[in-house]
C-alpha cells in the first residue's frame, strides 16, 4: 500500500509550465478533497466503462467553434469531389438527414478502430455528437470537410514526422472546427487552440506584434510535440486527449480519485464536464468525416483558402494599411490570411523575414513592386515626421502658451503609457503625430504639446496640393496600380482624386494626377 501512496503523491506534484494547456490546467472540482485517504479508494477495473450522463453540448466549446466556422466568407458555394449529377442529387436531398441504427454506428466505428492505434468505441455520448455533426450542424460539417482539403495534407505530414496516429488530425476539428482565426473565451488561439504559456513552452512566438499560434504550420508542429510528450507520460491516447483539453494536473487528480485507474472511461466522471464530452466528440468527428457521404454531407469548396493564395517573404517594416494602399489588396483579405500579425504590422528586416499570405494575384504583384512598396512606406514615415514638425512650428509661434516636447519611444512603451507620463490623451497623441493606429516602435519620435492645447494643422493648409495637377490618359494595358507606380502615388489616391468607386479604368479615360 505504501507504493500506492507514493504513486499518488507523485501524481499530485505540481506540473510545470510545459504542460499548462488548453482549458484550465488548475481546474478543481467543487467536491474535490485535496487530502484524500488513498487507502479508502476502491481499486477499479480499468476495463470497466463508467459513464456520466451529462452531455452539455449546447454550452460546449465544440458547438461554439462550429458556429464560428460558419462566419468564414471565402466559401464559393460549390462542392468538391463529385460531379454535377451528384450535385443535383445532393441539392435535392440536402434537407433529408439519413439516420442509422446503433448497430450500424457501432460496426462502422469498429471498422475505423481496426485501422488505427486509437481505441475508438461507440456509446451514447458518441452518438450524441454524431447527431450534432451529421444533423444539427451538417452545413458546418460540410465547411469543415472542405477545409480538410486545405489543412489535412500538412497535418498528416507533421503527424507522420513524429510517428503519431494520423487520425489525430481530427482533433483540430474538435478544437477549432478548422477555423484558422479561431479564438476561445479562455484565450486559446489557432487551429490547435494553444494557450499562451503552452505556446511559449513549445517555441511559438507570442509578442505584442506577432502571435505564432495563428501560424498553421508552426502551431501544428508544436501540437505534435505536445501530443508526443503526453503519450510518453500516459501511454493511452484517450488520457492524452483528456490532458490536452484540461491539463495533466486535472487528469492526474482524476486517476487518483478513481482509485488508480488508467482508463479514460473509468476516470471520466472525475473530469470536468467539457473533458467528459471531449473524447466522444473526437470519436464522432472521426466517424462523420469518414462516412460523410453516407450522411449526405459533402465538402464545400473553401475557395481562396484551398488554391487561391500564395506566400511572400517580407524583409522590411510595413503595415497592412500600406500594402492595401499601394497594391490595392483588400484589407479584409490581409487580416484574415495573416492573423498572426495582431497589430496589423509586419516587423520585417533584412535579417529576419516574415511570411505574408495574400490572394495569388496580389502576391505576384507584391513580388513585382516589392522595392518600390518599401520605398513608399518610408516616404509615408517621412511625411509623418514633416507633419509633426509643422505642428511643432505652429505651436512654438502660435502664442498658445504651451510647450512642445520631443519624446523618443523606448522598449516596452505604448501610447497609453506615454500619454499617462505626460498627462495627455491617446487621441491627442495620435492627432499630433498623424498616427492611424495605436502601434509605436522603439526609437520612434513623438511630438507632445503641453499646456497650449496642441493646435492642429488647419484644413486649408493640410489639403493644399504641393504642386500642379496633371492629366493622364489611360493607355492600353494600363491599370490603376501601374499608373500609381508611375507617378509615385497610391491606388487609393487615384480613386480619391478622380472620384472612382472601383479600380477599373478604360483606354482613353482621363485621370487627374496631383504632383
**pLDDT by residue (tens digit) across 453-483?**
444 333 333 333 345 688 899 988 888 878 8
Residue 131 lies inside a defined structural domain of this protein: yes
What gap in Å lies between CA 366 and CA 326, rounded to an integer?
A: 9
Residue 35 lies inside a defined structural domain of this protein: yes
Dihedral sign (CA 343, 344, 350, 353): positive
State yes or no: pLDDT of 92 exceeds 80: no
313 and 366: one domain?
yes
A 10 A CB-CB count for 121 gives 15
Average pLDDT over residues 315-334: 93
Concatenated DSSP letters for 112-149? Answer: HHTTSSS-----HHHHHHHHIIIIITHHHHHHHHHHHH
At 58 the pLDDT is 67
pTM (2 decimals)?
Answer: 0.68
Q: Report the CATH number that the domain containing residue 103 is assigned in CATH.
A: 1.10.530.10
CA-atom Rg of the chain in angstroms: 29
Distance of CA 84 to the CA centre of its chain: 34
At 509 the pLDDT is 92
**How many domains are there within the chain?**
3
Q: What percent of the chain is predicted at pLDDT more than 70?
A: 78
343 and 252: one domain?
no
6 burial via Cβ count (<10 Å: 0-12, 13-18, 19+): exposed
Residue 159 lies inside a defined structural domain of this protein: yes
State yes or no: pLDDT of 243 exceeds 90: yes
112 and 242: one domain?
yes
Name the domain boundary from 268, 295, 322: 295
State yes or no: pLDDT of 503 exceeds 90: no
What gap in Å lies between CA 302 and CA 73, rounded to an integer?
A: 9
Q: Which of 167, 210, 474 is nearest to 343 (CA)?
A: 210
Q: How confident is the model at residue 395 (pLDDT cuts 50, 70, 90)?
A: low
399 and 433: one domain?
yes
Higher pLDDT, 484 or 173: 173
What is the residue-averaged pLDDT of the chain?
Answer: 81
Q: Report the CATH number that the domain containing residue 452 is assigned in CATH.
A: 3.10.350.10
At 453 the pLDDT is 44
Strand stretches in 222-359, DSSP E:
309-314, 317-319, 345-347, 354-359
Q: What percent of the chain is predicted at pLDDT more than 90?
A: 51
Range of the domain at 429: 308-462
Residue 303 lies inside a defined structural domain of this protein: no
290 and 259: one domain?
yes
As given in the structure block, the three cell numbers for residue 168 are 489525430
Average pLDDT over residues 1-5: 44
Residue 341 lies inside a defined structural domain of this protein: yes
Name the domain boundary from 429, 446, 462: 462
At 414 the pLDDT is 84
At 257 the pLDDT is 95
Strands 317-319 and 345-347: antiparallel
What gap in Å lies between CA 196 and CA 185, rounded to an integer?
A: 13
What gap in Å lies between CA 385 and CA 393, rounded to an integer?
A: 12
393 and 458: one domain?
yes
165 burial via Cβ count (<10 Å: 0-12, 13-18, 19+): middle
Residues 106, 99: contact at Cβ < 8 Å? no
Residue 389 lies inside a defined structural domain of this protein: yes
272 and 343: one domain?
no
Residue 301 lies inside a defined structural domain of this protein: no
At 56 the pLDDT is 65
State yes or no: pLDDT of 12 exceeds 80: no
392 and 446: one domain?
yes
455 and 472: one domain?
no
104 and 196: one domain?
yes
Residue 422 lies inside a defined structural domain of this protein: yes
Name the domain boundary from 462, 477, 496: 462
Average pLDDT over residues 81-108: 72
436 and 489: one domain?
no
121 and 141: one domain?
yes
Intra-chain end-to-end CA distance of the chain, in Å: 88
Amino acid at each position: 500500500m505504501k507504493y500506492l501512496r507514493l504513486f499518488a503523491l507523485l501524481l499530485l506534484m505540481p506540473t510545470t509550465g510545459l504542460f499548462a494547456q488548453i482549458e484550465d490546467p488548475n481546474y478543481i472540482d467543487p467536491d474535490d478533497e485535496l487530502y484524500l485517504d488513498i487507502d479508502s479508494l476502491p481499486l477499479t477495473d480499468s476495463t470497466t466503462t463508467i459513464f456520466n450522463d451529462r452531455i452539455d453540448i449546447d454550452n460546449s466549446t465544440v458547438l461554439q467553434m462550429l458556429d464560428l466556422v460558419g462566419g468564414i466568407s471565402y466559401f464559393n458555394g460549390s462542392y468538391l469531389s463529385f460531379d454535377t449529377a451528384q450535385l443535383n442529387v445532393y441539392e435535392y436531398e440536402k434537407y433529408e438527414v439519413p439516420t442509422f441504427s446503433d448497430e450500424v454506428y457501432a460496426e462502422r466505428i469498429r471498422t475505423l478502430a481496426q485501422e488505427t492505434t486509437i481505441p475508438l468505441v461507440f456509446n451514447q455520448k458518441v452518438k450524441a455528437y454524431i447527431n450534432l455533426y451529421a444533423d444539427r450542424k451538417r452545413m458546418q460539417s460540410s465547411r469543415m470537410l472542405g477545409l480538410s482539403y486545405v489543412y489535412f495534407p500538412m497535418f498528416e505530414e507533421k503527424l507522420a514526422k513524429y510517428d503519431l496516429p494520423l487520425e489525430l488530425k481530427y482533433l483540430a476539428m474538435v478544437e477549432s472546427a478548422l477555423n484558422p482565426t479561431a479564438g476561445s473565451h479562455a484565450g486559446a488561439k489557432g487551429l490547435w487552440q494553444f494557450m499562451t504559456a503552452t505556446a511559449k513552452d513549445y517555441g511559438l512566438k507570442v509578442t505584442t506584434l506577432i502571435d505564432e499560434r495563428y501560424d498553421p504550420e508552426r502551431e501544428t508542429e508544436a501540437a505534435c510535440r505536445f501530443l508526443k510528450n503526453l503519450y510518453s507520460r500516459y501511454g493511452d491516447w484517450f488520457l492524452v486527449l483528456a490532458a490536452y483539453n484540461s491539463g495533466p494536473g486535472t487528469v492526474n487528480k482524476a486517476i487518483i480519485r478513481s482509485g488508480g485507474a488508467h482508463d479514460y472511461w473509468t476516470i471520466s466522471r472525475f473530469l470536468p464536464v467539457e473533458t467528459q464530452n471531449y473524447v466522444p466528440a473526437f470519436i464522432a468527428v472521426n466517424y462523420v468525416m469518414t462516412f460523410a457521404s453516407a450522411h449526405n454531407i459533402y465538402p464545400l469548396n473553401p475557395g481562396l483558402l484551398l488554391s487561391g493564395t500564395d506566400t511572400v517573404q517580407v524583409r522590411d517594416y510595413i503595415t497592412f494599411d500600406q500594402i492595401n494602399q499601394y497594391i490595392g489588396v483588400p484589407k479584409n483579405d490581409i487580416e484574415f490570411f495573416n492573423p498572426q500579425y495582431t497589430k496589423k504590422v509586419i516587423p520585417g528586416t533584412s535579417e529576419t523575414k516574415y511570411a505574408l499570405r495574400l490572394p495569388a494575384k496580389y502576391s505576384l504583384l507584391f513580388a513585382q513592386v516589392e522595392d518600390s512598396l518599401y520605398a513608399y512606406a518610408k516616404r509615408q514615415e517621412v511625411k509623418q515626421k514633416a507633419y509633426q514638425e509643422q505642428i511643432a512650428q505652429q505651436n512654438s509661434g502660435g502664442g498658445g502658451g504651451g510647450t512642445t516636447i520631443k519624446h523618443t519611444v523606448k522598449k516596452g512603451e505604448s501610447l497609453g503609457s506615454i500619454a499617462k507620463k505626460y498627462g495627455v490623451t491617446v487621441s491627442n497623441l495620435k492627432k499630433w503625430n498623424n498616427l492611424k493606429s495605436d502601434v509605436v516602435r522603439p526609437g520612434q519620435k513623438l511630438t507632445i504639446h503641453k499646456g497650449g492645447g496642441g493646435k492642429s494643422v488647419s484644413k486649408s493648409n493640410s489639403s493644399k496640393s504641393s504642386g500642379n495637377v496633371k492629366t493622364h490618359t489611360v493607355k492600353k494595358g494600363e491599370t490603376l496600380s501601374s499608373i500609381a507606380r508611375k507617378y509615385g502615388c497610391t491606388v487609393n489616391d487615384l480613386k480619391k482624386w478622380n472620384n472612382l468607386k472601383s479600380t477599373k479604368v478604360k483606354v482613353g479615360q482621363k485621370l487627374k494626377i496631383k504632383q
